[in-house]
Amino acid sequence: MRRLTLASNSPRRIELLGLLGLPFEVSPADIDEQQGPGETPLAYVRRLACEKARFIVKKRVGLVVAADTIVMDGDRLLGKPADPAEARQILRKLRSREHQVVTGLAIVAASDGRSFADVCGTSVHMRDYTDTEIDAYVATGDPLDKAGAYGIQNADFHPVAGLDGCYASVMGLPLCHLAVGLQGFGLDLSRGLPERCQAYLGHHCTVYNTILGMAQR
């Protein structure tokens, strides 16, 4: 079995990767994450994932998995809020509206540099939460380390009314896309994964058959 390394110390990505049922190590990548001049959001998030994986693979064996997630309100990128005031501003802007969450994913083999890269996009519709709910959520500090100022999995705030796409990708790691990529490195981990993912997230997924079907083409 190939050794697996996650190039992130995100608790959410660590939890999700654990659903694959493989042991793995964690080695976060410290790279420059500035968007390049004229770089599209999709190209940007894909590049960051690839650069993170290649940064870590130099000092590891086996396979390195990396991901990067961005939140897009139209053409505008919503990063992590600088302070509670900005978090409130972002949450008010997103309220009762749809936006996009995009995760870039990369896998690189240490042995020969072979790689896989993909991008997963999800449309997210926020519920009509109140200003009082926003204030209570911001007071917890949870929005301050999250792009778009929210965590989809937060049970108390419960910011999302519905989505079209991959729930796990909004959390930071699209597991079915990852399973498709790992098949190219001789690891078939798709069996039972959709069921484990849905049970863990408490979410009924409507896209896993389409995503996993890509590996059969």
pLDDT of residue 157: 96
Query: Could you report the per-residue pLDDT of 36-79, keeping only the tens digit for each?
Result: 999 999 999 999 999 999 999 998 889 999 999 999 999 889 98
**Mean pLDDT score of the chain, rounded to an integer?**
94
Instruction: Spell out the residues 6+ positions from residue 183 whose beta carbon is closer than 8 angstroms to its own.
Output: 190, 215
pTM of the model: 0.92
The catalytic residues are: 68
Mean pLDDT in residue range 140-146: 94
Which of these, 212, 165, 196, lies nearest to 16 by C-alpha position? 196
Instruction: Spell out the residues 6+ positions from residue 80 whose beta carbon is closer than 8 angstroms to its own.
Output: 144, 145, 146, 147, 149
User: Please, which pLDDT band fits residue 158 given cuts at 50, 70 and 90?
Assistant: very high
Domain 4-216 of CATH type 3.90.950.10:
yes
CA 125 vs CA 3, 161, 207: distances in Å: 38, 6, 17
Mean pLDDT in residue range 171-181: 96
What are phi and psi for residue 132, nearest 5 degrees?
-65, -40
Q: Which two tokens stand for residue 189?
A: 């981990």
User: Please, which pLDDT band fits residue 217 given cuts at 50, 70 and 90?
Assistant: very low
The answer, yes or no, to whether residue 12 has pLDDT greater than 50, is: yes
Query: Could you report the per-residue pLDDT of 111-121, keeping only the tens digit for each?
Result: 999 999 999 99
Which of these, 148, 103, 108, lies nearest to 27 by C-alpha position? 108
Name the residue ranges covered by the structural domains of the chain: 4-216
pLDDT of residue 1: 57
